[in-house]
Structure 1
Amino acid sequence: MDNMPCGCTYIGKTAVFEKYFRHLFSNFHEFHAMPEEFLDAGEVIVVLGQYQIVTKKSRETVVSPFAHVYTIKNEKIIRFRQYTDTVKIQNAVRS
C-alpha cells in the first residue's frame, strides 16, 4: 500500500523480503499480522484479520483491521493487495 511505511510496489520474493519487510519492520518493536478468517475464491484467497503493532519510538500499541487479497497461480502468489487503516499506522510511527 502506498501509504504504509515503505509502501509501494515490490516485484519478486527478494524485493519483498529484503527491501519491504526490512524497512517496514525497522519502524516497529513488534509487528504481528493476526489472521482471523480465510475466504477461498479459487485463484483468489482473502484473509481477514488485524495487525497488532508496537512502535519503536513511543512503544504505542496499535491495532488495525486488515484484508489481504492473494492471487494464486501454479501454487505461487502472483499478486498481493492489502487494505488497512494506513493513517492510523502512519500516525503511530510519527508519534
Structure 2
Amino acid sequence: MTAYDVVKAHYDANDRGDLAGMLAPLADDVRWTEMAGFPCAGTYIGPDAVRENVFERLGREWDGYTASITELLDAGDTVIGLGTYSGTYKATGESMNVRVAHVWRVAGDKVVAFEQFTDTLLVARATSEF
C-alpha cells in the first residue's frame, strides 16, 4: 500500500462518515497538528487524542461540518490534500467556507504525522461572537 493509498483511505472513510475508518491509518504515536488560530489548535499524539480533540470536538461545535478534499497530491512518503472546510458554528450561527491544505507523512502503511493549514481569519469570523 502506498502513502497515497493510506491517505486516500482516510478521506474515503471521512466521506462515508466512518470515524473508525478515519482513525485506522493513524500510527499509535501519530503527531496530528491543527493550525494555531483554528478552534482545535494544537498537536495531539495518538489516535485517541485526535478523535477526542479534533473529530469529536468538531462534531459537537459545528453543524454540517465538512472537510471536502478535492485534490490529492502524491509526493512519495508525503501526501498533500487540498480542499475546503465548511460548516456552521453552533454558538454563533455563523457559517464558514475556507480553503485548506493537509500535509500527511506516512511510514509503511501508517500516518505518522499530519499538519493542517487553513485561513484561520475566516474561521475566527464564524466562531467569534462579536
Q: Fold conserved (TM > 0.5)? A: yes
Matched length: 95
- Which shows bigger deviation, 9-18 or 22-31? 22-31
Offset of residue 29 of structure 1:
1.4
Stretches of structure 1 that go unaligned for 5 or more consecutive residues are none
Normalising by structure 2, we get a TM-score of 0.68
One-letter amino acid of the structure 1 residue matched with residue 112 of structure 2: I
Secondary structure at 1:10 match in 2: strand
Higher relative contact order (CA 8 A, sep 6+): 2
Give the distance between the partners of 2:59 and 2:128, measured in 1 at CA.
14
Instruction: Choose which of 27, 35, 39 in structure 1 pairs with 2:61.
Output: 27
Asked if the contact 2:81–2:103 (Cα under 8 Å) also holds between the matched residues in 1, the reply is: yes
Normalising by structure 1, we get a TM-score of 0.90
The answer to whether structure 1 residue 37 and structure 2 residue 38 are counterparts is: no
Offset of residue 85 of structure 1:
0.6
Asked if the contact 1:25–1:31 (Cα under 8 Å) also holds between the matched residues in 2, the reply is: yes
Identity of aligned residues (%): 35
Give the distance between the partners of 1:26 and 1:2, measured in 2 at CA.
20
The answer to whether structure 1 residue 61 and structure 2 residue 91 are counterparts is: no
Stretches of structure 2 that go unaligned for 5 or more consecutive residues are 1-34
One-letter amino acid of the structure 2 residue matched with residue 93 of structure 1: T
Instruction: Choose which of 36, 42, 48 in structure 2 pairs with 1:8.
Output: 42
Give the distance between the partners of 2:61 and 2:39, measured in 1 at CA.
8
Offset of residue 26 of structure 1:
2.6
- Greater percentage in helix: 2
Secondary structure at 1:58 match in 2: coil
